[in-house]
Structure 1
Amino acid sequence: MSHRNLFARSALANIPKILTLLDRNPHSPTYGCFDRNFWHYKIIDFPSGMAQEFVLPLALAYDTDLPDNPFYRQPVLRDWVEAGIIYAARSAHKDGSCDDYFPYERASGAAAFSLLACIDSYVLFRLNNSAILQFFSQRADWLASHQESGRLSNHQALITLCLLLLSHLLQTSRWQRAIAQRLELVLSWQSSEGWFQEYEGCDPGYNTMTISCLARIYQLQPDAKLKEALIKAVKLAAHFVHPDGSYGGEYASRNTYNFFPHGFELIGRWMPEALQISDRFLEGLAKGLAPCYADDHIIGHHTWNYLLAWRDFVPQRPTLTTPPQGRLWLKEAKILIERRENTVLYLALNKGGVFKLFRNNQLIISDTQISLQVEIKNKLKNCVAHLVDAYEMTIGDDEITIAGTMGWAKQKQMTPLNLLILRAVMLTFGRFFPNLIRKILQKLLITGKQNAPYYFRRKLCWHSGQWCITDEVYTRSWHNVIYAGIGGDQTSIYVVMSRTFQHNQMQSWFNLTQEVRKLALGEPLKIERCF
């Protein structure tokens, strides 16, 4: 099998599920809706606007000429895609915006992802529908004038791409100023190290989505400044393809394993090094090391991006080269990559020393730092050392130390009362200030850190061809610690694309509970391991 076809076959495997999510009944009032929880199960009271993004995987499946593609040139797909675009328009607010997680949210990400999918599908099928074009313009106007809270570079790049594509489709300069402003904003959020800001730092996974959007923008509107930014971003991305072909993980700011290959194929036409990144990821894909994104909400992004990568695949590929030995210290991202002898270490110093360690091109340990389950007033709380913070750190040639205060994990759950309160707020005050509500929820679920009364110190030493890790945790009393351990894939903030399954996560927790129970009052927990 051609490695190129891995992209298409991986994506096409998701199409039956996407069709299951779709209301395909032309006589149904929700014909064209992809939110099965809304139209079929009826367990939510509004449809997610993000779900209408699924029109693009169907449109691309229709256009993917593989011998065993059962969806190739099936006429009914055109009907279902057009119905999906029409439903996106019907379910939108009067200003063109849409909701994703709660009513009147007016979510920029959902509006932009679904608009991009609708525009691309409309063009691919050469549809001719003035009402749809009017909806596109209305949504574009809303996106052009709306600024969401938080720094999400991939959203800003996506909005820029939507406005540019629609400008070409309608032959208008209506959004020219907004395009220039958004693009300038994205470029201003790029670190000198090459990564684009995602909330509190560098996420290599979301970075590849930003690269994909910017690569398409560059294709439509070449610009020297944008080209320079893409070159820096691609060179950095090369470092995050792991030796086994997997990509990203919990050491990133948003804990994702995302890899969006399309941008690397487009950039590879004029920068061959980009194709090496894609090819190294394909090696991991062939070994089953890609993460699973096949849930009802996030199945679309990778499906359409893989199909675009298959479509625009560059036939002539450069020979794969091995990354050089040595250390890459990303001072702004606070991520260190160390290649020594037959090992590769990925270490996040801004996340308390979360790391992945590879030996002979295989993952031998993923470590997301010490976690404590603590009983406080008859309630269990989770205390972790992996939340983003400005920790104390020393970086020597053979010894690295990270120390600081542990924090309480963000484990806020919805209850019937919480949902009733959120609905009441959004149906009254909140509908007029959705960005304020979003900002509050981001603070509760994603950003910031509440310190806990536990102090940790992690030391990594290179000795005799191996990494030795010493962990210490200090506190006044251990009496209310119920459970202690170290997990390989633990995260404690809410991110849509995180907590997906990836084969390397089949690693048991390192249980430290018995060690904690042996400790006297004020005695530190100390664990030593060598790999």
Structure 2
Amino acid sequence: MGRDVFAAMAIAQIPKILTLLDRNPHSPTYGCFDRNFWHYKIIDFPSGMAQEFVWPLALVYALPLPHNPYYQQPSLRAWVNAGIQYTAQSAHSDGSCDDYFPFERAGGAAAFSLLACVESYRLLQLDRPEFLDFFERRGNWLAHHQESGRLTNHQALIVLCLELLSRLLHTNQWEEAKVERLEQVLSWQNPEGWFQEYEGCDPGYHTLTISCLARLYDVLRDCSSQYSPPYSSQRSYENSPQHPYQSQLQTPQRMTRLKDAIAQATHLASHFVHPDGSYGGEYTSRNTYNFFPHGFELVGQWLPEALNINDRILKGLAHQKGACYADDHIIGHHTWNYLLAWQDFVAARPPLRPQV
């Protein structure tokens, strides 16, 4: 038992993801992951959320996972390129996309798919100026969009997207938006530690919020250039490599508040791991069994108790106590998150402490 459980469960989802993808390079919907649209034609617009699936493909292409038949396979790289291309092609002119309804302009779908495209672009070291133009357009839309419901995981996703995109493009155009959005996220945290999901606490999506905020914190405290893209002579940047991008989120006060919020949220999450290693359920605001492990590996680098959460979950997974996430619409969420948990797995782990 260990990190390879995360890898095995994620790799098992790749065949399903590939069946959702239009892999015919001669098709006008080449790169589309919404099979109901391109194959069955039972809807007349593609779900933008589905384009998030480029990221699991990019990760299995790039990571030397155990028993990984997709590692460094050229077809995977081509399909990731096609997926990003279709994400841009199918977007509205303002950069937004739809999810469940036509002309919906869904913030969650736009954020999930943008994060996936940006991370895949960086991971595969692509150099496609037209992709960067699209990322900027979608980033602008997200920076100025507010959805009607209170879904903290979406807001955390948007902050993370804008931060990563700012570094990719070396731009400071979204500094005010990032600060305001992070303040909104922190203001939606209850004194008990949970982040609001619609009308209350949902431990499942709570772990996704932790994952996004932990990644944001990790990026902000890392002053290296790992997020710098290959530069294209066809595109100008507001900041040059000689003048590295600096985020307004990196002030000591904001970093401390962010770290404290993550720690409090992590402590709360530990109470929702059941004795058998399962998590969440129908007693929560969104009735979910979701669990996103990546954030706890990142938090565990500076808060070892976070690793106990994943270790209990891993025991549950070994006894088939994990939920099934193979829904066509959200299979990508957990697949990329499990792969990142494998990638950033902390080797030195504290012993399991008794649950209180």
Confirm or deny a common fold (TM above 0.5): yes
More helix by share: 2
Deviation of the 1:321 alpha carbon: 1.0
Q: CA deviation at 1:67?
A: 3.9
Q: Displacement of 1:63 after TM fit?
A: 1.9
Alignment of 1:59-458 (within 5 A): 59-222=58-221, 223-324=255-356
**CA apart distance, 1:204:** 0.6
- 2:251 maps to none
Structure 2 CA distance for aligned equivalents of residues 150 and 28 of structure 1? 37
Q: Distance in 2 between matches of 1:224 and 1:22?
A: 42
Partner AA of 2:189 in structure 1: Q
When Rg is computed on C-alpha atoms for both structures, the one with the higher figure is 1
Task: Write the distance in 2 (CA, Å) between the matches of 1:280 and 1:238.
Answer: 10
Taking the aligned partners of 2:148 and 2:329, their CA distance within structure 1 comes to 21
C-alpha contact 2:4 2:66 (8 A) present in aligned 1: no
Aligned to 2:3: 4
Paired AA for residue 303 in structure 1: T
Gaps of 5+ in 2: 222-254
SS of 1:221's partner is helix
Q: Tell me whether 286-295 or 208-217 shows the greater mean CA deviation.
A: 286-295
Deviation at 1:221, TM superposition (A): 1.8
Q: Deviations over 1:354-413 (max 9, x none)?
A: xxxxxxxxxxxxxxxxxxxxxxxxxxxxxxxxxxxxxxxxxxxxxxxxxxxxxxxxxxxx
Distance 1:174 1:126 in 2: 23
Name which structure has the greater RCO, CA cutoff 8 Å, separation 6+: 2
Residue 203 of structure 1 aligns with an amino acid whose one-letter code is D
TM-score, length-normalised on structure 1?
A: 0.60
8 A Cα contact 2:214 2:299, kept in partner: yes
Please state if 1:48 is matched with 2:47: yes
Shift in Å at residue 323 of structure 1?
Answer: 1.4
* 1:3, distance to aligned residue in structure 2 (A): 1.5
Structure 1 unaligned residues grouped into runs of 5+: 325-531
| Root mean square deviation, CA, Å | 0.7
Q: What secondary structure sits across from 2:155 in the alignment?
A: helix
Q: Percent identity?
A: 71
TM-score when normalising by structure 2: 0.90
C-alpha displacement of 1:254: 0.5
Q: What is the aligned residue count? A: 323
Aligned mates of 1:126, 1:193 — CA distance in 2: 41
- Measured in 2, the distance between the counterparts of 1:207 and 1:240 equals 11
Alpha-carbon distance between aligned partners in 2 of 1:249 and 1:209, rounded to the nearest angstrom: 15
Asked whether the 8 Å contact 2:59–2:336 carries over to 1, the reply is yes
CA contact (8 A) 2:55 2:117 kept: yes
Runs of 4+ in 1 over 6 A off after TM superposition: none
Paired with 1:26 and 1:235, the residues of 2 have a C-alpha distance of 48
